[in-house]
DNA sequence: ACGAAATTAAAACGAACGTTTAAATCAATT
DNA sequence: AATTGATTTAAACGTTCGTTTTAATTTCGT
């Protein structure tokens, strides 16, 4: 049996519009029209607009986090078996690579990842609570792994630098269309693999930086 | 003659609420109530809700950008006189330090900087157009200065790494209240000077990173 | 083929939105 | 003190929002 396609069409349309215009600026009428569904379908299938947002987030975040967690645990086990410590770059990669690969996958525009990027930018928004509930366990494991990879860093320093790195990532997750200051020969549509390496160059170097003062 | 205080009270309230809840989630009724003004006062003094947003942004962005531009030009002149090239860290500092100092100044909560941080996260939002119009000239100068400071980097690489750095900065500009994974001994309310150095450690190292592959 | 359950459809709900209007009030000049 | 312009006020405008209701339609096991 094929699942009710209406639900999926609504999820797809909502994902796209939430990511493009934001939660508050997107109306259910706009969503249902794009999904070729009736206005009442949202409240019938999901209960409310906010519950729809949660469904949009959960649908993709769950498998994404499973992949990230799987890669992180695999890395840690490999490191443990060979009695060495994982590098900062390796640890970051388990988080970053699935993220940016997801960006190119879904609906050829990276709607979901852009939505998460926006969520991270609205700390008090409705989406933040939903998002954090699904991210916390993974983030704790990521923090522990980075502690191992960067034994010279205090908890304080590690916290802030991870904060900076997540900021960078969430920024490129939003995949702006309005770029200012773009020199004519800069390629915006970078292949994912290259973007991953470019980002890891930057983030790993930043995490491992020597302190300038004190 | 004291200037009409109502306009200022509205600007202050709007700045605070736009930063906290976002443009679309903040109603004029909420703003005028917080400003102890009449609902119609916004349209009387500013013309529309969007014009109010622009006034909120321009009020602080203009002097902030003048300070950033002044420090950048002073640095470049000093460098030219001593026939050397400015360091990446020095160039970034002219941009970052005024930003984070502003964050602690205004209305003791950094409302404006948080608002800009949100603006950067909503590429298609109404605020983005307003914001870009006032940022473009400075960004071009910043890019040129970084080209000088990092002669080994291609335009492409410099563009992406500056993009990453701006992402980091805009992230901490938002000064989240909901931090996950915060170890108990991490100090969130870091003095501005320390935060600036912490960020410059990270960003300068990231900008100057050696390429991992190719 | 029929009846029960799930889904879709159309219409309306009250509430809140940004904006406008017109009268009231205030401030300053003559 | 009267008058003029600037500002504030209260009320209402039309629109759109998320949600609910009620009926029509479709789906599917028996």
CA distance between the termini of chain A: 65
A132 contact residues in B (CB cutoff 8 A): 178, 180
A165 to B163: CB separation less than 8 angstroms, yes or no: no
- In total, the C-beta contacts within 8 angstroms joining chain A to chain B are 190
Query: Domain A58-207 adopts which CATH fold?
Result: Tetracycline Repressor; domain 2 (1.10.357)
Give dist(CA A182, CA A188) in Å, integer. 9
Burial of B35 per CB tally in 10 Å (0-12, 13-18, 19+): buried
Q: Which residue has 């940016």 as its token pair?
A: A100
On average, the pLDDT of chain B sits at 89
Mutation for testing the B interface, residue in A162, A175, A177, A201 having most B CBs under 10 Å: A201
Q: What is the mean pLDDT of residues B12-16?
A: 95
Give dist(CA A207, CA A150) in Å, integer. 8
Secondary structure (H, E, C), A178-191: CCCCCCCCCCCCCC
**Looking at B42-46, B49-53, B98-102, B127-131, which range is the least confident one?**
B127-131
Give dist(CA B13, CA B19) in Å, integer. 10
Q: What is the mean pLDDT of residues B80-104?
A: 95
Model pLDDT, residue A200: 98
Model pLDDT, residue B107: 61
A97 contact residues in B (CB cutoff 8 A): none
Model pLDDT, residue A182: 63
Model pLDDT, residue B186: 76
Angle (deg, nearest 10), helices B88-105 and B49-81: 140
Model pLDDT, residue B176: 64
Model pLDDT, residue B2: 46
Q: What are the extents of the domains in chain A?
A: 58-207
A144 half-sphere exposure, CB direction, 13 A CA radius? 11
Q: Check whether B197 has a pLDDT greater than 50.
A: yes
Give dist(CA A100, CA A119) in Å, integer. 16
Per-residue pLDDT of chain A (214 residues; tens, 9 = 90+): 345 689 999 999 999 999 988 899 999 999 999 999 999 999 999 999 999 999 999 999 999 999 999 999 999 999 999 999 999 999 999 999 999 998 877 666 678 988 888 877 776 777 888 888 889 899 999 999 999 999 999 999 999 999 999 999 988 888 665 555 566 677 777 889 999 999 999 999 999 999 876 5
- Check: CATH 1.10.357.10 for B60-207? yes
**What residue has its CA nearest to the C1' of C20?**
B40
CB A206 within 8 A of CB A165: yes
B214 half-sphere exposure, CB direction, 13 A CA radius? 7
Please give, rounded to a whole number of angstroms, the shortest distance from the CA of A44 to a CA of chain B: 25
Asked if strand D contacts A49 at the CB level, meaning under 7 A, the answer is: yes
Q: Encode pLDDT of B144-176 as tens digits.
A: 999 999 999 999 999 999 999 999 998 888 866
CB A206 within 8 A of CB B203: yes
A182: left (phi over 0), alpha (psi -120 to 50) or beta: beta
Model pLDDT, residue A2: 45
Mean pLDDT comparison of A142-156, B1-15, B128-142, highest-scoring range = A142-156
Model pLDDT, residue B120: 73
Model pLDDT, residue A123: 65
B167 contact residues in A (CB cutoff 8 A): 167-172
CA distance between the termini of chain B: 65
> 3-state DSSP: chain B helix, strand, coil percent, rounded to 5?
70, 0, 30
Q: Encode pLDDT of B43-67 as tens digits.
A: 999 999 999 999 999 999 999 999 9
């Amino acid at each position: 049996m094929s699942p009710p396609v209406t639900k999926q069409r609504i999820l797809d349309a909502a994902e796209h519009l939430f990511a493009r215009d934001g939660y508050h600026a997107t109306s259910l009428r706009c969503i249902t029209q794009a999904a070729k569904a009736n206005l009442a379908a949202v409240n019938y299938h999901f209960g409310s607009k906010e519950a729809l947002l949660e469904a949009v987030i959960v649908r993709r975040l769950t498998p994404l986090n499973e992949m990230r967690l799987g890669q992180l645990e695999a890395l840690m086990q490999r490191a443990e078996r060979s009695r060495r410590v994982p590098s900062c770059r390796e640890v970051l990669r388990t988080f970053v690579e699935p993220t940016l690969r997801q960006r190119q996958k879904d609906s050829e525009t990276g709607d979901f990842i852009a939505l998460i990027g926006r969520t991270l930018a609205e700390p008090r928004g409705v989406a933040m609570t939903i998002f954090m509930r699904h991210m916390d366990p993974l983030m704790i494991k990521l923090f522990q792994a980075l502690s191992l990879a960067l034994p010279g860093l205090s908890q304080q320093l590690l916290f802030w630098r991870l904060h900076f790195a997540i900021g960078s990532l969430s920024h490129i997750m939003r995949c702006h269309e309005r770029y200012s200051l773009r020199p004519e020969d800069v390629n915006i549509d970078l292949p994912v693999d290259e973007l991953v390496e470019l980002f890891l160059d930057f983030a790993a170097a930043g995490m491992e930086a020597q302190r300038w003062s004190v």
